Structure 1
């Protein structure tokens, strides 16, 4: 028999030992001694949980972040599951599964409709109902490839009639978090699943690194910041690399200013790498697309916590009725048949008998992707276990159209 519960302050060393060995195995078990006085503020964020045996010995640990986000017009809690770790002697015994069950139950108790995580392996979490929420692309090029950016930014300013005035780049620190957050919110307005960041998240997860802090610069006037970049410079296989962790801009001119800022590192680095959304315009801006390497990456994963709650919480732009047979092997309250009735943009969900007529059958992962807007139903019918006729797929496409959604934070 195992118990899922919060870790006490006295068990912080256990959490540190499990997580350190899980993500830095080269150091060896217990190699990095825990000193509470040396723990960074970023390590104090979130809520630590664990699974324990009958003797109170820890078997596995994890951390929860209580994020808030937007999903199809509704502001919702989206817990983030992180730092899942178990030592070798307790693996292959179902302990991580029991911790996932406890975690999802806790999310359910908090009435959170969805949750998210970054996987170490997609297949591992897919078997427990999580599915890809969004993807992103890594774009790498020599800084000289961005030569066009400064002139293009000036032309865009002239086209829009915007006065750049005394706008300039300046170094930022944690005390500038509110100004940076304003740019972040402006750039991600209308994008679902983005984390609503607070001061602590900015200070200890964006302005702060695990070992070395990144560089943060902002472009704009003293009154208004219009763009920012968070980056580090590292040694790559072909010379130094300017790795831009994150960049956000209020408008296209400000985005071009970011590219020009990266170009101005040509005397210091041989490669600039930016993390962009799949619909990025950057490859179409450069003169020679052959100089730009674009690599599509898998992003975080999302999971519905409670089917009825999730489908009744979000808003709809179309009306319709559909009966769904949902398979969920981790959360029994989601396993069954649900009738969704959307009238005037408001959804009502009722559980119905298993013998009722079903319009579509799918597992919780496919439903999670459909709700999150990762892909429309007709595409999911090709890539997941979604089973429905063409008429039902059309109804689902109207109720759950593909939308702009991305979890941009790593946790």
Structure 2
């Protein structure tokens, strides 16, 4: 039977081939000197049949903001299976086994960026945010940009640490905003060769913009991958910097986790907007996830019936108790009907704050028996502004 286990170093070139075929197939087969391969971030795991590698993926961990505090957020990246081994359930097995590993590590949530939302929804992940892709001529930002009294300077791999505080400040108040490690910061400035300009005010870096410039041979497009600002003044200063490229690029493409930009610009008709589904989250273990939720002020007790087709340890009934100081959750007997029922997808969205209770009932799977239960769940799961901006 195929087995889930760590991938030894000797499979490194094979991992590279799996990744390139899955995510960069248009580049054709590549040849790599083993000494030139970058060190892999995270923990590589695979599904093996004996010594044959059938499917792979990488487990990563981040420090992430969560409802006003910090948690360890798990992540899955680079999950892939070559075509000769597809349609045999290996990704499903990988997902189940990796969730069990995250459960054993005590990680309360696992996020990923899906290649297809419906595929991972069928495995219990739920969308945790949407994003807007804006395409516009750089001059269209002139009305919302302002030069400001600070200074601009280019940042590169040698001094990336100067923008870390601005990155943290931009994530203040956003659930799933990350505190990136040194390795992840180096990765952001490696490979793609992006430009990065920092905006400094009173001796402190209060914002930065990270971008690349692409060309199809006739026109140039500026792709803004990250625009982080500690406050509104810094954001206007960065908008101004982007607008100054009107002599070099014809189009700017900018991804944002909110849609208010059109309310601020002078001529919204200059902007083309596309709403997209963003990253997804999943609970690896119901008790660990619910006990990570900050304690509501009111005490209460509810029983919740959870369905989880992938992770049998989550499929059952749980008692959730709050006493004003802690949240406790444990499996309970299913002899009596629960106060609420929900599948693991919707429960994950409630935990992260993407859904409030009303929305989880309206568009998700949540079913609540009475108003008292609804009030208790409202107190436990107030909605949050979720903003996981970093692709991994």
- Per-residue CA distance 1:116-155 (angstroms, 9 max, x = gap): 111111111111111111111112221111222345x65x
* Separation in 1, partners of 2:263, 2:27: 44
Instruction: Kindly indicate whether residue 66 of structure 2 is the aligned counterpart of residue 71 of structure 1.
Output: yes
* Separation in 2, partners of 1:34, 1:174: 24
* Separation in 2, partners of 1:274, 1:288: 17
| 1:326–1:362 CA contact under 8 A, matched in 2 | yes
SS in 2 for 1:405: coil
Alignment of 1:370-409 (within 5 A): 370-389=350-369, 391=371, 392-409=373-390
* Separation in 2, partners of 1:356, 1:74: 35
* Separation in 2, partners of 1:37, 1:66: 26
* Separation in 2, partners of 1:299, 1:238: 31
- Per-residue CA distance 1:270-295 (angstroms, 9 max, x = gap): 11222112253x21221122122222
C-alpha deviation, 1:106, in angstroms: 0.9
Residues 238 and 362 of structure 1: CA distance in aligned 2, closer, same or farther (over 3 Å): farther
SS in 1 for 2:310: coil
TM-score of the aligned structures, taking structure 1 as reference length: 0.90
C-alpha deviation, 1:298, in angstroms: 0.9
* Separation in 2, partners of 1:399, 1:187: 26
1:187 corresponds to which residue?
A: 170
C-alpha deviation, 1:172, in angstroms: 0.3
C-alpha deviation, 1:369, in angstroms: 0.2
Which residue of 320, 330, 351 maps to 2:331? 351
| 1:74–1:314 CA contact under 8 A, matched in 2 | no
* Separation in 1, partners of 2:362, 2:212: 40
TM-score of the aligned structures, taking structure 2 as reference length: 0.95
* Separation in 1, partners of 2:112, 2:325: 29
Which residue of 183, 191, 196 maps to 2:179? 196
Q: What residue ranges of structure 2 are gaps of 5+ in the alignment? A: none
RMSD: 1.8
1:327 corresponds to which residue?
A: 307
2:42 corresponds to which residue?
A: 46
* Separation in 2, partners of 1:22, 1:150: 40
Alignment of 1:151-170 (within 5 A): 151=146, 154=148, 164=149, 167-170=150-153
* Separation in 2, partners of 1:344, 1:78: 25
2:35 corresponds to which residue?
A: 37
C-alpha deviation, 1:98, in angstroms: 1.1
* Separation in 2, partners of 1:117, 1:372: 14
C-alpha deviation, 1:174, in angstroms: 2.2
1:8 corresponds to which residue?
A: 8
1:302 corresponds to which residue?
A: 281
* Separation in 2, partners of 1:96, 1:299: 20
Residues 241 and 390 of structure 1: CA distance in aligned 2, closer, same or farther (over 3 Å): farther
1:160 corresponds to which residue?
A: none
Alignment of 1:158-237 (within 5 A): 164=149, 167-204=150-187, 206-209=188-191, 212-221=192-201, 223-235=203-215
SS in 2 for 1:403: coil
Residues 11 and 312 of structure 1: CA distance in aligned 2, closer, same or farther (over 3 Å): same
1:292 corresponds to which residue?
A: 271
Residues 397 and 239 of structure 1: CA distance in aligned 2, closer, same or farther (over 3 Å): farther
How many residues are paired up? Answer: 390
* Separation in 2, partners of 1:324, 1:310: 14
* Separation in 2, partners of 1:340, 1:64: 29
Q: What residue ranges of structure 1 are gaps of 5+ in the alignment? A: 155-163
SS in 1 for 2:15: helix
Moved more, 309-318 or 292-301: 309-318
